[in-house]
Structure 1
Amino acid sequence: MNLKQLSDHLGLSQTTVSRALNGYPEVSERTRERVQNAAEKHGYSPNARARGLAMGRAQAIGHVLPLSAQHEMVNPVFGDFIAGAGEVYAGANYDLHLTLVPDGDEEAAYHKIAAKRSVDGIIVHGPRMQDPRIDLLGTLGLPFVVHGRASDVVAPYAWLDVDNTRAFFRAAQFLIDLRHRRIGLINGLEFMDFAHRRRLGYLRALEGAGLQVDPALMSSAEMTEINGHHAMRRMLALPSPPTAVLTASIMLAIGARRAVEDAGLTLGRDVSIITHDDDLSYLRNGQDVPLDGAPAGQNVPIFTATRSSVRDAGRRVAEMLLARIAQPGAAPETKLLEAELILGRSTGPCPHA
């Protein structure tokens, strides 16, 4: 049954029926109940897109991703984030609008989206230290939420982030407590805000323990398996190699583990690794060996890790953005999440302690 058929059945105008279904106050409660009961009885469901247009909305959320030679945004982390956000969009009858643009064309893409009014809001991914997209979206008047933060942007804006500094401070401190003194860092690209903050946490822990910061034990690159392998292999070849390493992602940790094993060393005994785990659906911090005495199905993760679900972050950011769209004049909301430090088989006491 369509709107006209429902209207004819009730003997009301299509405008009255539409207003009753969409909660307009000028429709009496008696008429509203009558229309809603008839719609339920005859299986009529209003078209979400048409309803959105009637309310001046596109019923879509935008995601603009650059196709960068420096930093690849279309990766497993983005996939899990979108899966979480998509659950919220679907529940609210919103569509996802994905725009892929060449490096350097983001500003033009945002102007085009704002002019066409093709989305009701934007989620900003992968913020840099000084991110021009934040000021731009504020100028364009597009509601937006940033997944992460931009340290050098002082204007208020809505964001959700993990406390990366605290997470890597705690991880480095854990290794220091295990009496490791040569601790490396295999990080992401440090013009990205999350990587900058993780480096800061690592440095604070070392300096707080009175340990020398050795630039040879620090690496910054795209978070891929091969880069993790290369960085770990280079560090292990040093005259005084690390006994422990922090890595910024599971992919880097997998590559670092491969380098440790290629060198004939044992993970967790000769070299300890702590990684950041986004709790990815298709790239789990797997269970290598059952934990002694643990119930069936409960195993030890491969890597000791700072864990924070990026899928859950997707849900939360989407909810924050929909709230901003509903109340555009509200003060920007910010949320800082704590990463959980989980113990795996990749860490142990310093072998030289």
Structure 2
Amino acid sequence: MNLKQLSEHLGLSQTTVSRALNGYPEVSEKTRLRVQQAARQLNYSPNTRAKSLATGRTHAIGHVLPISASHEMVNPVFGDFIAGAGATYSDHGYEIVISLVKDQDEAEAYRSLHARGSVDGIIVHGPRMRDPRIPLLRELGLPFVVHGRASDEPDPYSWLDINNQRAFERATEFLLDLGHRRIALVNGLEFMDFAYRRRLGFEKALSERGLRADPALMRSEEMTEIFGYRSAREMLASDQPPTAFLVSSMITAIGIRRAIHEAGLEMGRDVSVITHDDDLGYLKNGHSVPIFTATRSSVRVAGERAAAMLLDCIRDPGCVPKTQLMEAELIIGASTGPAL
């Protein structure tokens, strides 16, 4: 079935059907849904080349991922984010272009995508405190949305983030209310914006109770299982071990649980653990009762929303930067209890 046949079936002009399928704002929501439903039922698939020529768009979104020795972006969290973003792209007739590049080639990859006209927009992953990609993409004129924020970027830009500082402040307050005073922070790399904000929340909660963070109980590294295991094993063997851990990743928390078990202790009774849970499809935090007490925010939902924000910016090139801050829930699980 072609566009003309679909239009005749619906009793609408080809222009209206095309605009509905491409998400133009001047088409009503009722008409857009009607057209999309008919297109699915009749297996209508637009000719991508003809569509690009007609609209001046590629109907593709770029995701550039650096292959880094210090921070690996090709990870399970990225997979769930792409699943969410991909569902939004698919609903609006867009495809994904993923480029894996070396750290030093990342800027050139953006320039190449722009020069070749390969994509209509970009999602930026893993922002750092002052991220050079933001001014570069602004200079190139490519619409973009940042998944996260860059704290030291002075000019406005579009981003979607979770409230990392408040999430870890609240988690620390919860542990303090349980009587814990020696709380370890096992964080991500703190040149990454999310990890920097989580440390701020941890330190703020302690400070408001008249306490100071102990550097001996703070670790910052790539968020792997072995990092969690080694960090916890070392701290639990010290003269003044922590009674609780606040952790930036479920994967790292699994390593901490392993170290607690090897030390002959019981998680939730002898040592408490709170982690961050991205609500991953493949790695659920228990069933009826969560394994870990956690600050939870779905990265899949973040992918859906960031993709929708970017498509809005593509449809309206003159739009002002959009921002969205998602709050994390505090989920009570079996990994926390009163300080002994």
Q: TM-score, normalised by structure 1?
A: 0.86
* Cα distance in 2 between the residues matched to 1:215 and 1:151: 23
Corresponding residue of 1:121:
121
In the TM superposition, residue 20 of structure 1 has moved relative to its aligned partner by: 6.5
Corresponding residue of 2:185:
185
In the TM superposition, residue 22 of structure 1 has moved relative to its aligned partner by: 3.0
Judged with a 3 Å threshold, the aligned counterparts in structure 2 of structure 1 residues 47 and 252 are, in CA distance, closer, same or farther, namely same
Corresponding residue of 2:18:
22
Q: 314, 326, 331: which one pairs with 1:337?
A: 326
* Cα distance in 2 between the residues matched to 1:188 and 1:344: 22
* Cα distance in 2 between the residues matched to 1:278 and 1:45: 34
Give 3-state SS (helix, strand or coil) of 1:341's partner: strand
1:226-249 deviation digits (Å, cap 9, x = unpaired): 000001111111110000010000
* Cα distance in 2 between the residues matched to 1:23 and 1:240: 65
Corresponding residue of 1:202:
202
Judged with a 3 Å threshold, the aligned counterparts in structure 2 of structure 1 residues 119 and 270 are, in CA distance, closer, same or farther, namely same
Residue type of the alignment partner of 1:148: G
Residue type of the alignment partner of 1:281: G
In the TM superposition, residue 208 of structure 1 has moved relative to its aligned partner by: 1.0
Corresponding residue of 2:171:
171
1:61-93 deviation digits (Å, cap 9, x = unpaired): 000000001001000000000000000010001
Backbone CA RMSD of aligned residues: 2.2
1:138-163 deviation digits (Å, cap 9, x = unpaired): 00000000000000001000000000
Corresponding residue of 2:100:
100
Q: 283, 296, 320: which one pairs with 1:307?
A: 296
* Cα distance in 2 between the residues matched to 1:319 and 1:45: 21
Alignment of 1:1-353 (within 5 A): 1=1, 19=15, 21-22=17-18, 46-287=46-287, 299-351=288-340
1:266-315 deviation digits (Å, cap 9, x = unpaired): 0011100000000000011123xxxxxxxxxxx21000000000000000
Conserved? CA contact 1:49–1:59, under 8 Å: no
* Cα distance in 2 between the residues matched to 1:186 and 1:314: 25
In the TM superposition, residue 19 of structure 1 has moved relative to its aligned partner by: 4.7
Judged with a 3 Å threshold, the aligned counterparts in structure 2 of structure 1 residues 44 and 158 are, in CA distance, closer, same or farther, namely closer
In the TM superposition, residue 18 of structure 1 has moved relative to its aligned partner by: 5.6
In the TM superposition, residue 3 of structure 1 has moved relative to its aligned partner by: 6.8
Number of equivalences: 318
* Cα distance in 2 between the residues matched to 1:49 and 1:200: 49
Residue type of the alignment partner of 2:259: A
Give 3-state SS (helix, strand or coil) of 1:22's partner: helix
* Cα distance in 2 between the residues matched to 1:240 and 1:227: 20
1:178-231 deviation digits (Å, cap 9, x = unpaired): 010100000000000000000010011111111232101000010000000001
Structure 2 runs not aligned, ≥5 long: 21-34
Give 3-state SS (helix, strand or coil) of 1:84's partner: helix
* Cα distance in 1 between the residues matched to 2:335 and 2:2: 60
Corresponding residue of 2:25:
none
Structure 1 runs not aligned, ≥5 long: 11-16, 25-35, 288-298
